[in-house]
A and B are shown apart, each in its own frame.
Chain A
Amino acid sequence: MSAPAGSSTVLSRRRPTGGKALLATLMLLVAVASAFPLVWMVLSSLKTTAESMQVPPVWFPRTPTLDAYEKVAGVVNVGRSMWNSLVIASITTAGILVTSMMAGYAFAKYSFPGRTLLFSALLATMFLPPIVTLIPLYRMVGSIGLNASLAGIIVPNLANAFGIFLMRQFIAGVPDDLIDAARMDGASELLILFKIVAPTVAPAIAALALFAFVYHWNSYLWPLTVLQGNADSYPIVISLSRLLSYNRGAMNTGLVMAGATLAVLPPLILFAFLQRFFVDSIVSSAVKG
C-alpha cells in the first residue's frame, strides 16, 4: 500500500492549520527573497536619475521612464552586442547539438574497443574548471589567428562532455529494433540518427539546446580573454561590464540596471517558455548519473 509519490513526505501528513500557515509564510518569504533582486533591477531601470539617487530610496518609480535604456544605447552599442551574443550562442549551440548527438549515439549504440575508457576520459573533462586550460588555450587560439574574433570564442566550445553524456543517456533508451528496421531499409547511420533517433529524443535535445544557449549567452571569462579589447566583437555581457565604470556611484544605477535587464531578458524568456525541459534534464542527469 504505497501512496503516490509526493503525497507522503516528511512535511506533509496531517498537518494542523497553524502548521500550514507557517509553511505558506515560509514559502512566500523564500519566493520574495529569491525574486527581489530581479524585481528591484527592473524597477530601478525605470527610475529617473534623481529618483535613483534619493535617500531613503524610492522603491517604485513615480513616472516610469525609459531614459536609462536610451542612455545605455548611447554608451555601448547594444544592437551590435546583442547580435554578437546571439551569433555566439546560436552557432555554439548548433555545434554542440550535432557533436553531442553523434558521439552520444556512438556510445549508446555501438560496441567498440576502449569504449568505456574513452567515455570516462571525455566525462572527466566535465569536472575541469575552465581556468585550468585558459592560459595555453589563449595562446593556441592566438597562434591560429582566431583571437579577437567571434570564431575564437565559438570554435573551442563546439563540443562538450555534458552534451555527450546527456545524449548517450537518452539515446540508450531508444529501442534497437527501430534502428535495425531502418538499416534493413538501407538507411545510412547519419540518416538514422537525425531522421529516426533524433525525433524520439526531442525533449532531451531541446533541453540541451537551451542549456547550451543560456550558458554561452552568459559566458564571460573566455570571451573577455580572447577578445582583448576588440569592442566590435563584444557580446552583451562584456559591453555590460563597461557600464559600471562609465560613471561611478549612484549616478549610474539606472543605467547599469537597464543594461542588466537587457542582458537578462533573452535567457529568462527562453526559460519561461521551456523550463519543463530544463528541469527534466537536470533531474535525469542527477538520477541516472
Chain B
Amino acid sequence: MTNGYRASAGIMLAPAVTLIGVFILLPMLLTVWLSFNDWSTQTPFSEARFVGLANFQDIFGSTSVGRDFKGALVNTAIYTALSVAIILPLSVLFGLLVYQRDVGGGTLLRTVLFSTYMVPMIAVALVWSKLYSPSEGPFNQMLGLIGIDPQPWLSSPRSALISIVLLNVWQQVGYFTVLAIAGLTQIPGSLYEAATLDGANRTEQFRFITLPLLRRTLLFSAVIAIINAVQVFEPVALITQGGPVGSTNVLTYHIRRVGIERAQGGLGSAMAVMLMLSLVVVVCALFAFMSRKDDE
C-alpha cells in the first residue's frame, strides 16, 4: 500500500470511473427520475413532465398497462424461482461428479458442461426452437421412443415458460458447476476422515459436512443465478414474442417493448425501477435468511 500517490490514483481511476459513471450510474439515476415523469423516448430528457406516482399507479392498475406489467412480473418471478431451484441442486450434483476421484473423466465432463456457457444465447434459442419443434423435433421423437405422447413445449401457454427455463438451465449449469467445484475444494478432507471414523455414512456426510460448508458458495450462486435469470431476453424476443397468451412475457422483454418500441419512456422506467427494487428485496432477504441460519 502506498501513500502520497493521490494524483496518480486520480489518473488511474479516471477512465473507468468516468465511463461507469456516465454509462451506468447516470442512466440508472435517470431511470429513477424518469419513472416519476411522463416522457416519450423519442424526445429529449428536457421534454419530461413530472407526474408524481402516476406511472406506478398505471403499472399496478387494472388497465391493460397494469395487467401486462403484473403478468410480466409474475412470469419473471416464476422463471427466476424455477431457474434457481433447478440450477443450484444440479450444480452441486455435477460438481460432485467432476470432483470425485473414483472414476476418471471428471475434467472432461467439466469442459463439456462449461462449453455451453460460451454459446451465444441467440444460437441457443435457435437450436432449441428446433429441438422443441412439435412434429419433427428430436425431443418429441425421443419421447415417442419411450412411449410418451408428444409435448407442445413452446406452443402451449402451460409449458412455454418452463421450456425456456430448461434451455436456460442447459446453457448456464456449467458455470454454476464450476462455482460448486470451487466451493468443494475449500472443504478440508480431514472433516470427512473424522466423520468416517465416527461411523457417519455418505448421506450423513453430505448432509452434515458438504451442504453446510457449501452454504456461502450456494448463496453466491443463487444471487448470480437470480441476476442472470431476470435478464432472459433472446428466446422470448426471437421465438415466442411473449406468447402464447402472454405466458412468456418477461420483464426484460416487456420493459424494452414499452420503453423503446412504444417509446413510453416514463412507464418503462417505472417498470425498471420496480425490477431493481424487487432484486434488492430478494437479495437482501436471501442474505438475511443465510445469516440467521449461521446464528443457529
Contacts and interface: CB of A to CB of B under 8 A. Distances in A.
Contacts of A134: 255-256, 259-260, 272
Interface stretch (A53-61, A63-71, A199-207): A53-61
A11 B252 CA distance: 40
A9 B30 contact: no
Interface string B266-293: 0011001101100100010000000000
28 contacts: A2-B190, A6-B185, A6-B189, A9-B192, A10-B100, A11-B97, A23-B100, A27-B105, A41-B123, A100-B16, A102-B15, A122-B16, A128-B24, A129-B231, A131-B252, A131-B272, A138-B260, A139-B45, A156-B19, A176-B1, A221-B234, A238-B122, A241-B122, A241-B234, A257-B130, A264-B118, A267-B118, A271-B118
B3 interface: yes
The B interface is mostly helix, strand or loop, or mixed, namely helix
Given A159-B19, A221-B233, A283-B182, A127 B227 contact: yes
B120 A7 contact: no
Max chain A Cβ within 10 angstroms of own Cβ: one of B6, B129, B130: B130
B112 A34 contact: yes
Given A218-B118, A287-B186, 8 more contacts: A6-B101, A20-B103, A38-B127, A122-B16, A131-B272, A158-B19, A240-B120, A282-B179
A269 to B, nearest CB: 9
Interface string A269-289: 011100100110011001101
B94 interface: yes
A78 interface: no
A278 B114 contact: yes
A92 to B, nearest CB: 11
Which 4 A-B pairs rank lowest in CB-CB distance, beginning with the nearest?
A8-B189, A136-B30, A218-B120, A133-B27
A6 to B, nearest CB: 6
B127 A106 contact: no
Contacts of A38: 115-116, 119, 127
Interface in A207-264: 214, 217-218, 220-221, 224-225, 237-238, 240-241, 243-244, 250, 253, 256-257, 259-260, 263-264
Interface of A: 1-13, 15, 19-20, 23-24, 26-27, 30-31, 34-35, 37-38, 40-41, 44, 53-57, 98-100, 102-103, 105-106, 109-112, 118, 121-122, 125, 127-140, 143, 155-161, 164, 176, 179-180, 189-190, 193, 214, 217-218, 220-221, 224-225, 237-238, 240-241, 243-244, 250, 253, 256-257, 259-260, 263-264, 267-268, 270-272, 275, 278-279, 282-283, 286-287, 289
A24 B101 CA distance: 11
Contacts of A26: 97
Interface stretch (B56-64, B157-165, B202-210): B202-210
